[in-house]
Amino acid sequence: MATMNISLPEAMKAYAEAQARDGRFANVSDYMRDLIRRDQERAKARDEIQALAEQGMASGPPRPFDMAAFLAARRKA
């Protein structure tokens, strides 16, 4: 596993150390890896949403939506 050194303000360092002490993480490195994994998941979700939005924009002009007809069709199904 590669090593990386980062500089943090004292308050952030103390917070990260407290997260490790609370027992949820074995050490600060585990905490940082968890933060990075979560950020990667958020970035992936954001990219997927962006792709869907672009797909919708490229699908053509908007059409009126009939909520009553939609609900009626759902009730039949």
Q: In the prediction, which pLDDT does 55 show?
A: 97
pLDDT value of residue 77: 81
User: Does residue 1 have a pLDDT over 90?
Assistant: no
DSSP per-residue string spanning the chain:
---------HHHHHHHHHHHHTTSSSSHHHHHHHHHHHHHHHHHHHHHHHHHHHHHHHT-S-----HHHHHHHHHH-
Q: Tens digits of per-residue pLDDT, 8-66?
A: 999 999 999 999 999 999 999 999 999 999 999 999 999 999 999 999 999 999 999 99
pLDDT of residue 71: 96
Residue-level pLDDT at 34: 97
